[in-house]
């Protein structure tokens, strides 16, 4: 809005600079040809129509038009001021919304971390104890009935299945190794899981070694983007190949580097790149923009689906947030 007002003021000054010499040229022309005398001579024969009063009428009309234009300019300035004020309020509201989203994501990740810890410490140990008791029941008495041994084996199998489910839940709640081993190891573990789930899909993964130390918010955002992108591949794309690249890129000489994450598949794609009502793509964009980054979808019907996310590279923990 400010840029529009600045362009409007520049255009007004240009028009005024053109008007002044035009008036001067018209005045010189009128003096050179004695325009007023010529008009008087031409209209003298039609005095009954009072044509000699037209200059005064035209002058009054010009003054009226000038007053009308001044009123419209004043109204326009008032409207511009109101729009600038509304834009300022909208900018503040967007900033507050970003803060709320960032706080919500932080609380969400904290809750996931606590839930994953509880699953590991409480439910995991309980399942281990049940399995130990089942194995002891199965092997403790060689003379035990076949029904008892079969029941113990069934309990052990159920525990094994439950442990796999719990382990998968823990992985979705909190990336394995992210806190201890870092982002690269967590991503490799995540992609390895999807390799097992999607054996018909070829994964081309390139993760740069110069990412450096990233803060918690950046690590989680990059991980969740890959996680959501691969979920989309599994559910919707029917792809045979997925390319994932994570690297740093220089924006301009002397400017801070960016972290660029791109994911693209060769699946069915979509006819447009507009996020749908689903929360997956909307959540991905919101996570990136909360960290002052940019998120762009790249898709076409029959041409695959993908995205590119650019995040500012934080120099210290907590940098890169707005």
In this prediction, residue 316 carries a pLDDT of 46
- What is the average pLDDT across 205-225? 86
Instruction: Please state the φ and ψ torsions of residue 56, each to the nearest 5 degrees.
Output: -65, -40
Which secondary-structure segment (H or E) carries 9?
A: helix 2-33
Query: Angle, to 10 degrees, between the axis of helix 216-232 and the axis of helix 54-118?
Result: 90
In this prediction, residue 261 carries a pLDDT of 93
In this prediction, residue 322 carries a pLDDT of 37
Of the segments 86-90, 137-141, 154-158, 268-272, which one has the largest average pLDDT value? 86-90
Cα dihedral angle (233, 235, 236, 242), rounded to 10 degrees? 10
In this prediction, residue 183 carries a pLDDT of 86
Hunting for tokens 């069934």 — which residue is that?
154
Residues of the chain with pLDDT > 70, as a percent, come to 77
Is 23 a residue whose pLDDT tops 70? Answer: yes
Of the segments 61-65, 262-266, 301-305, 316-320, which one has the largest average pLDDT value? 262-266
Q: What is the number of other CB atoms lying within 10 angstroms of the CB of residue 40?
A: 13
In this prediction, residue 321 carries a pLDDT of 40
Confidence category of residue 246, pLDDT binned at 50, 70, 90: very high
Confidence category of residue 48, pLDDT binned at 50, 70, 90: low
Is 319 a residue whose pLDDT tops 50? Answer: no
Strand partners, 296: 308
Query: Angle, to 10 degrees, between the axis of helix 2-33 and the axis of helix 35-43?
Result: 70
DSSP 120: I
Specify the pairing of strand 257-265 against strand 305-312. Answer: antiparallel
Distances (CA, A) of 7 to 4, 17, 46, 79, 84: 5, 15, 49, 16, 15
């Amino acid at each position: 809005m400010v840029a529009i007002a600045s362009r409007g003021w520049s255009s007004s000054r240009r028009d005024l600079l053109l008007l002044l010499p035009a008036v001067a040229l018209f005045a010189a022309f009128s003096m050179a040809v004695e325009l007023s005398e010529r008009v008087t001579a031409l209209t003298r024969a039609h005095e009954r129509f009072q044509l000699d009063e037209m200059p005064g009428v035209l002058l009054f009309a010009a003054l009226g038009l000038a007053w009308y234009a001044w009123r419209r300019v004043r109204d326009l300035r008032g409207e511009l001021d109101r729009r600038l004020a509304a834009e300022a309020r909208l900018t503040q509201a967007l900033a507050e919304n970003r803060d709320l989203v960032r706080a919500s994501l932080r609380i969400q990740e904290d809750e996931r971390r606590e839930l994953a810890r509880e699953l590991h410490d409480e439910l995991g140990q309980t399942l281990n104890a049940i399995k130990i008791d089942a194995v002891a029941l199965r092997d403790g008495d060689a003379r035990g009935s076949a029904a008892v041994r079969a029941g113990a084996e069934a309990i052990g199998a159920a525990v094994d299945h439950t442990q796999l489910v719990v382990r998968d839940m823990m992985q979705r709640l909190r990336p394995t190794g992210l806190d201890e081993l870092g982002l690269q190891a967590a991503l490799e573990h995540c992609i390895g899981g999807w390799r097992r789930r999607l054996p018909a899909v070829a994964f081309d993964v390139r993760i740069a070694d110069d990412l450096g130390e990233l803060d918690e918010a950046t690590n989680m955002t990059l991980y969740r983007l890959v996680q959501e992108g691969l979920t989309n591949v599994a559910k919707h794309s029917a792809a045979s190949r997925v390319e994932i690249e994570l690297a740093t890129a220089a924006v301009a000489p002397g400017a801070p580097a960016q972290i660029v994450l791109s994911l693209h598949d060769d699946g069915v794609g979509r006819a447009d790149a507009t996020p749908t009502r689903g929360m997956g793509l909307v959540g991905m964009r919101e996570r990136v923009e909360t960290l002052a980054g940019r998120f762009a979808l790249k898709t076409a019907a029959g041409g695959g689906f993908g995205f590119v996310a650019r995040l500012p590279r934080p120099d210290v923990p907590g940098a890169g947030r707005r």
